[in-house]
Chains A and B, each alone.
Chain A
Amino acid sequence: MAIWQILHNLFFDYTLRTVALGASALGVVSGALGAYALLRRQSLLGDAISHAALPGVVLAFLITRSKIPLALMIGAGLAGWLATLWMMSIIKNTRIKEDSALGLVLSVFFGFGLMLLTFTQRLPDARQAGLDHFLFGQAAALLVSDVISMMALGGLALLLLGLFWKEFKLLSFDQDFGASLGFPMGVLNGILTTLLVIAIVIGLQAVGVVLMSAMVVAPAAAARQWTNRLGVMVLLSSIFGAAAGVSGAVISSTAGGLSTGPTVVLCASAIVLFSLLLAPNRGLLWNWMRQQRNRRRLGMELVLLDLYHMAGQHEDPEHAHSLAALRAVNPGNAGVPASLRALERRGLARQQAPGMWQLTAEGRMEAERLSREQATP
């Protein structure tokens, strides 16, 4: 399918438009709240919440005997919340550490959810069909009413995030200081965690409980690479989340039969990979280039100083030295010829005869400056 065709469908095809709207709503909200989860080192909390939501979804269905999205979301939210509370009380009241508590709660809730799901599937009730989509997500099944619920809940979450921006920043950066100012940090923590629960819950139907946590972690991790401002990071994370959500949902619903969760996660991973490699300052490529540059400069300065010191042993400051001699005093420095060429380009050294090198006047001045610098650290 040509790109313009997809674009055309994105605006005029009812199903695709619904899917894209839903996916971008979940991406924006989980991206924004994921940024906070990442900064507070709570990314895995998202994993626990999303897995723990499964029994909530199935129980909500068993109670209401319907798949009204709002009812299922409330069920999922309550279960996610309960799991978080339970986890926090384990950490507080026992000697079990955070990672173990997380694993414990996650597996208990998820296991219970799977059990409920298989039980429900054996019920002679046709309405249960499609509940298992909550495992890996099925964006193509999104209805306009689902999307409206997602947008309403997500909009509320974003509104609160914006309203308490300053308080949440304080909570994430310096909780003790915030408490000393009189802000109730426990309450704020509760609100922010609830917002994270909302962000996860609205994405469950489309992305699924198993992989929803990727939508919390991946956009935020990618966004962190590009900026040093909290505001920009939250915004970028939302944009990345939406991009991953839309591209994943569109691919899965046009390619037919692909679960949305894995597709969305692959799209998000591509964004992360790109950001890890290419982002300025924090990116791996950037780091590598910086290292190479430093190494080249260091090698060049070493050769410059060698030439300077060797010339100092002769009456003639213009005395030329052979490449072999320079290599001999620079054991292990394989880049002597490259360094010499770099010096030549900068007008600090010149080749008197083939293989014979000497410093220029500028080169001598530079060498003197360098040795002074080394003498006074």
Chain B
Amino acid sequence: MAESVYAIEVTDMTVAYRDKPVLWDVDLQVPPGVLMAIVGPNGAGKTTLLRAILGLVKPAAGQVLIYGKPYAQQRRLVGYVPQRGSVDWDFPTTVLDVVCMGRYGALGWVRRPGKRERQQALEALEKVGMRSFAERQISQLSGGQQQRVFLARALAQNAQIYFMDEPFQGVDATTERAIVSLLQDLRAEGRTVVVVHHDLQTVPEYFDWVTLLNVRRIASGPVAEVFTEQNLRLTYGGRVSFLREGLSATGHPSAESERALTSAVR
């Protein structure tokens, strides 16, 4: 694979629900081996962008290239962590069983996971510190543990590019630190990780690449260059007071995030 090829290249991505545009003409080039956050206010289309890239919603226009080839041909290279709340955690199944699902794509039709897949799943659980939970029923897990199980399932996919939808939502501080170090390990292995993220405060600390999104792509690039006062204003609204509202609307109305915002704006 040539160095110049982007890990993810999105062109003209436009998605509309009924007649309301959710994403408008979004272009995105993500080089391999970065840890990228997608940030923007509520309703900015962050999750929709992820789902459109993965082919889970049908875009009105746009195409997606993964390492220079159409997504459908490169599926095996892509791993996905949906929002934790998107599934029924009372489903009658075990942790190991859920993580094994990460191998289903490689298994293909009809073939069942066997010893090898279970071994891979156990290794993935080991990496998220949940190996001893393998036989646990999934309804007995805490929120943070559920998130780790979803991450382990994605790790079991052994993908080159990971898309994660709000992996930090509703997890405790310990889990958040564990997830961050896991993401950084993935990047260190040369993998690309794209994370829908809510907390502006932690963007410079956790990520090295960022996309600011509000229906349109406001900016995308290295955090140091792109995560600026002006771009944040463009993303969240005109004035600082607007910015504060935008922030509280994201679900982090804490004094901390306001401080972070003002410092980011300053």
A180 at the interface (CB under 8 A from B): yes
A86 at the interface (CB under 8 A from B): no
Of A169, A177, A224, A232, the residue contacting B80 (CB under 8 A) is A177
Provided the pairs A39-B91, A180-B80, A233-B92 are in contact, do residues A174 and B109 lie with their beta carbons within 8 angstroms?
no
Q: How far is the CA of A174 from the CA of B91 in the complex (A)?
A: 10
Q: How far is the CA of A232 from the CA of B94 in the complex (A)?
A: 12
A189 at the interface (CB under 8 A from B): no
Contact A174 B82 (CB under 8 A): yes
Contact A180 B78 (CB under 8 A): yes
Q: How far is the CA of A224 from the CA of B86 in the complex (A)?
A: 21
A170 at the interface (CB under 8 A from B): yes
A173 at the interface (CB under 8 A from B): yes
Which of the 9-residue segments B59-67, B98-106, B230-238 touches chain A?
B98-106
Nearest residue in B to A35 (C-beta to C-beta)? B92
Q: How far is the CA of A217 from the CA of B34 in the complex (A)?
A: 49
A36 to chain B, nearest CB (A): 11
B55 at the interface (CB under 8 A from A): yes
Contact A173 B98 (CB under 8 A): yes
* CB neighbours of B72 from chain A (8 A): 182
Which of the 9-residue segments A119-127, A149-157, A158-166, A303-311 touches chain B?
A158-166
* Chain A interface, DSSP helix/strand/loop, else mixed: helix
A230 at the interface (CB under 8 A from B): yes
Provided the pairs A163-B110, A228-B139 are in contact, do residues A182 and B91 lie with their beta carbons within 8 angstroms?
no
* Residue of B55, B72, B104, B137 contacting most chain A CB atoms (<10 Å): B104
Contact A181 B104 (CB under 8 A): yes
* CB neighbours of B97 from chain A (8 A): 230
Contact A164 B91 (CB under 8 A): no
* CB neighbours of B105 from chain A (8 A): 181-183
B169 to chain A, nearest CB (A): 16
Total residue contacts A-B, CB cutoff 8 A:
74
Q: How far is the CA of A358 from the CA of B137 in the complex (A)?
A: 44
* CB neighbours of A177 from chain B (8 A): 80, 82, 101, 153
Contact A180 B54 (CB under 8 A): yes
Chain B interface residue number, banded:
20 to 34
Chain A interface residue number, banded:
20 to 34
Contact B139 A167 (CB under 8 A): no
Contact B110 A227 (CB under 8 A): no
B 111-134 binary contact with A (CB < 8 Å = 1; else 0): 111000000000000000000000
A172 at the interface (CB under 8 A from B): yes
Contact A180 B101 (CB under 8 A): no
A221 to chain B, nearest CB (A): 13
A 170-199 binary contact with B (CB < 8 Å = 1; else 0): 101110111111110000000000000000
B93 at the interface (CB under 8 A from A): yes
B177 at the interface (CB under 8 A from A): no
Contact B112 A166 (CB under 8 A): yes
Of A165, A176, A233, the residue contacting B56 (CB under 8 A) is A176
Nearest residue in A to B109 (C-beta to C-beta)? A167
A372 at the interface (CB under 8 A from B): no
Q: How far is the CA of A183 from the CA of B91 in the complex (A)?
A: 20
Nearest residue in B to A167 (C-beta to C-beta)? B109
Q: How far is the CA of A233 from the CA of B80 in the complex (A)?
A: 28
B258 to chain A, nearest CB (A): 29
Nearest residue in A to B54 (C-beta to C-beta)? A180
18 contacts between A and B (CB under 8 A): A39-B91, A166-B112, A166-B113, A167-B104, A173-B93, A173-B101, A176-B56, A176-B82, A177-B80, A178-B104, A179-B55, A180-B54, A180-B56, A182-B75, A183-B104, A224-B92, A230-B97, A232-B92
Known: A39-B91, A167-B104, A170-B104. 8 other contacts (CB 8 A): A39-B92, A166-B104, A166-B110, A172-B91, A174-B87, A228-B92, A228-B137, A232-B92
Binding site for A on B (CB under 8 A): 51, 54-56, 72, 75, 78, 80, 82, 86-88, 91-94, 97-98, 101, 104-105, 107, 109-113, 137, 139, 153
